[in-house]
Chains A and B, each alone.
Chain A
Amino acid sequence: MVDYAADPPVRSACCTAPIERGQTHMITQMKVRGLMFDPYNNAYIVILRDEENAEMLPIWVGKSEASAISFALENVAAPRPMTHDLMKSILDAVEAKVISVVVTDLNDNTYFAKVHLSYEDSEYSVDSRPSDAIALALRTNAPIFASENVLRKQTSEELEQWLENLKPEDFGRDET
């Protein structure tokens, strides 16, 4: 088991050393299953599920991040590049490639993610909020993973129940 919480702090601008190999085991590939409005917290929830629907990971995100994910999910091209489109443009311009994104940790209800990229002959791992990582992954067709410890920390039983209590009308609504 890789302990992502023990990851070294984000590298500063000076350091461009490639990431260590072998950091990607004990992770489960997830798909973005949907986006819903949480009327109780006045926020949005990105629902990630694994292929077998055995694991579920809800991630609470802000309005603008939700809209960035929603545009990508629905394949809507905005008339002007949105912030994550710009992010992709910049990566494309320097020929950097997103290999994968990993939701790595959960602390005090804050999720942590890493964006894994290849640039020139090296690989890099960049600290990110999961919302940005997911919005970018959807635009670059990069796979999304969740680490086992995040899925374990997640009290899925309680969550299932909570989700069941949400009425279908709550889905996609954007008002309180």
Chain B
Amino acid sequence: MDSNETSTLVPLKVHGVLPDPNTETQIVILRDERNSEILPIWVGAAEGNAIELALKGVTPPRPMTHDLIRSFTEHFNTTITRVIVTDVKNSTYYASIYLQAGELERTVDSRPSDAIALALRTSSPIFVTQDVLKRRGGGSLEAWLEKFEAKDFGKHQV
């Protein structure tokens, strides 16, 4: 990671997964360590579940899809060094997964949901670019989320 890149990246933690009361999708809430930035990303139900299982530390009896990916990287001594939410276009977020296999470093294009599900399973850091944070919507979103969280966090009501 060069210094230029580092300076524009904000580390994020997965704060939780919320059901979107209006659709069948789920919302992954990412926050920075000081809780001053919040990044909600809408994901599909399966991806939301994959993230939630990892957050809760649940080990399913059979490996789920992201567990299988982790298993591959473990077998090949490949490390996921970090995942970065790199871009947002027309409300679609883009992410990159950074892999280290020996001397070799590779970057793989991913949906943020898969990147986060993998990061949680491999204890890899999650970052977002400053630029994406700036473009993610406005203060009204924060206000909406605060209201939403206080009332509905963890409840599956419609």
Contacts and interface: CB of A to CB of B under 8 A. Distances in A.
Given A90-B97, A93-B99, A94-B78, A117 B72 contact: yes
Interface stretch (B8-16, B107-115, B129-137): B107-115
Interface string A65-94: 100100000000000111110110111011
B77 interface: yes
B71 A90 contact: no
Given A63-B46, A83-B47, A94-B76, A132 B65 contact: yes
Contacts of A119: 75-76
Contacts of A127: 63, 71
Contacts of B71: 10, 126-128
Task: Identify whether the interface residues of B are mostly helix, strand, loop, or mixed.
Answer: mixed
Contacts of A110: 61-62
Contacts of A84: 65
A155 interface: no
A11 B76 CA distance: 12
A86 B106 contact: no
A173 interface: no
B4 interface: no
A150 B94 CA distance: 41
Nearest to B112: A80
A96 B72 CA distance: 9
A11 B75 contact: yes
Contacts of A68: 65
B75 A16 contact: yes
A124 interface: yes
Contact of B63 (A82, A86, A129): A129
A11 B104 CA distance: 24
Instruction: Say which size band chain A's interface belongs to.
Output: 20 to 34
Contacts of A65: 65
A128 B68 contact: yes
Interface in B40-82: 44-47, 50, 61-66, 68-69, 71-78
A129 B64 CA distance: 7
Contact of A126 (B47, B65, B75, B108): B75
A6 interface: no
A54 interface: no
Given A62-B46, A86-B110, 7 more contacts: A82-B111, A84-B65, A86-B114, A90-B73, A94-B106, A112-B62, A126-B72
Interface of B: 44-47, 50, 61-66, 68-69, 71-78, 92, 94, 97, 99, 101, 104, 106-111, 114
Interface of A: 10-13, 16, 62-65, 68, 80-84, 86-87, 89-91, 93-94, 96, 110, 112, 115, 117, 119, 124, 126-129, 132
30 contacts: A13-B74, A64-B44, A64-B45, A80-B92, A80-B94, A81-B109, A82-B111, A83-B47, A83-B50, A83-B65, A83-B69, A86-B69, A86-B110, A87-B65, A87-B69, A89-B109, A90-B73, A90-B78, A90-B99, A93-B99, A94-B106, A96-B72, A96-B76, A115-B68, A126-B68, A126-B71, A126-B72, A127-B63, A129-B63, A132-B63
